[in-house]
Amino acid sequence: MGQVGLIFSLVLAILVAVFAIQNAGPVTLRFGIWSMETSLVVVILVAVAAGAAVASLLGLPGWVRDRHRFRQLTRELDGLRAAEPSPPSMSPEAPRHPPA
């Protein structure tokens, strides 16, 4: 992630935190027969954290694929460099250009 992405993420996190703090009233969560009363701040922050975790998990296969491809290309490049003859070194006394 570049600097722009990092700055965007930080700004988004600050906006979510401000939104959560401004909506701090108590709420009752119900799921089937289960019920729980908590602050809306907690609900918002847990929902954002869960969304970030799901997004990260969805991006994981692509990251693993890219990492595998990078390693494969690095090995291929190292093999090509090893097979290439080294260029002749120029001594300091030798002229760089042929005389005209």
Residues 60-71 have pLDDT tens digits of 999 999 999 999
List the chain pLDDT tens, one digit each, 100 residues. Answer: 678 888 998 998 899 888 888 888 889 989 888 999 998 888 888 898 999 899 989 999 999 999 999 999 999 999 888 887 766 666 566 556 666 6
pLDDT of residue 22: 87
Report the predicted TM-score, pTM, of the whole model to 2 decimal places: 0.62
- Give me the DSSP letters along the chain: --HHHHHHHHHHHHHHHHHHHHT--EEEEEETTEEEEEEHHHHHHHHHHHHHHHHHHHHHHHHHHHHHHHHHHHHHHHHHHHHSPPPPPPPTTS-SS---
